[in-house]
């Protein structure tokens, strides 16, 4: 399949979730590190699931967990999505292993894509007055405000989501970054509960098909599980 020019198409979930996690005041990306990599990988898999290009098994198989399969004939044209689809076309893989495999190679390309669109831009600076560094700053397009307007009613007001707003809100919750987004999304027990509902695929009838929502929910659950495993379990094993 011929790959498309990404800047001529609509932004991917991975792009939008990164923009939402970007803090314009500090120039940092919330959940930076392993949680961000898992979230971006989850966004790619969720996009493929919403496009019905992959499917996730309803139940796990032993220790491997739920397998992800490429849907024959549904290879995506986008160069950020196509490698994962081709990987799955060769061999179905369990969600946890897949997130660990594809996450590390996504951060740079996703940032590059967002910069190409002008949503973020790179700014040259100097640390300690002489060490050259590059910082990310808001590009002034208003894209982040548009995305906040999309997810805020879903997370704070209980609005029934569209497929995209449901997926973005579920991924934000799974990333563990909602408390750090308190200036944009005031943190509360109700927000936590709503995030958990969306992670379980409780998107409502208008959002998307039941099977697709279940696949997206499985991805969100795997993102959270992997992030907790790396940040909590592994350090304790090293002690």
Q: Whose CA is closest to 106, among 138, 79, 88, 141?
A: 79
Instruction: Tell me the pLDDT tens digit for each residue of 33-54.
Output: 988 998 999 899 989 988 889 9
* pTM to 2 decimal places: 0.86
**CATH for 6-231 (1.10.3630.10, 3.40.50.620, 1.10.1740.10, 3.90.1150.10):** 1.10.3630.10
How far apart are the C-alpha atoms of 193 and 198, rounded to whole Å?
A: 9
How far apart are the C-alpha atoms of 136 and 120, rounded to whole Å?
A: 6
Q: What angle do CA 60, 64, 65 make, to 5 degrees?
A: 30
Higher pLDDT, 118 or 201: 118
Q: 127-160 in b/e burial notation, b at 16+ Cβ within 10 A?
A: eeeeeeeeebebbeeebbeebeebbbebbeeeee
Instruction: Tell me the pLDDT tens digit for each residue of 54-111.
Output: 988 877 665 667 788 999 999 999 999 999 999 999 999 988 888 889 999 999 999 9
Instruction: Tell me the pLDDT tens digit for each residue of 143-166.
Output: 999 999 999 999 999 999 888 898
What residues form DSSP beta bridges with 56? Answer: 68
Could you tell me if 67 and 94 are in contact, meaning their C-beta atoms sit under 8 angstroms apart? yes
How far apart are the C-alpha atoms of 16 and 31, rounded to whole Å?
A: 15
């Amino acid at each position: 399949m011929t790959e498309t020019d990404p800047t001529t198409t609509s932004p991917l979930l991975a792009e939008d979730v990164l923009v939402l996690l970007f803090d314009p005041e500090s120039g940092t990306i919330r959940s930076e590190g392993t949680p961000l990599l898992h979230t971006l990988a989850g966004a790619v898999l969720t996009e493929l699931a919403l496009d019905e290009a992959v499917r996730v098994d309803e139940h796990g198989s032993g220790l491997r967990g739920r397998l992800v399969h490429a849907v024959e004939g549904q290879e995506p044209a986008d160069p950020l999505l196509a490698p994962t689809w081709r990987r799955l076309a060769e061999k179905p893989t369990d969600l946890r292993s897949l997130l660990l495999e594809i996450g590390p190679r996504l951060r740079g390309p996703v940032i590059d894509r967002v910069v190409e669109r002008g949503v973020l831009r790179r700014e040259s600076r100097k640390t300690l007055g002489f060490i050259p560094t590059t910082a990310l700053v808001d590009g002034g397009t208003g894209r982040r405000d548009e995305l906040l307007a999309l997810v805020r009613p879903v997370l704070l007001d209980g609005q029934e989501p569209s497929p995209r707003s449901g997926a973005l809100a579920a991924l934000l919750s799974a990333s563990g970054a909602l408390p750090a987004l308190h200036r944009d999304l005031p943190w509360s027990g109700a927000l936590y509960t709503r995030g958990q509902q969306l992670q379980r695929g409780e998107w409502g009838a208008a959002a998307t098909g039941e099977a697709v929502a279940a696949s997206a929910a499985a991805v969100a659950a795997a993102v959270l599980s992997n992030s907790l495993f790396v940040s909590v379990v592994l350090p304790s094993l090293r002690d």
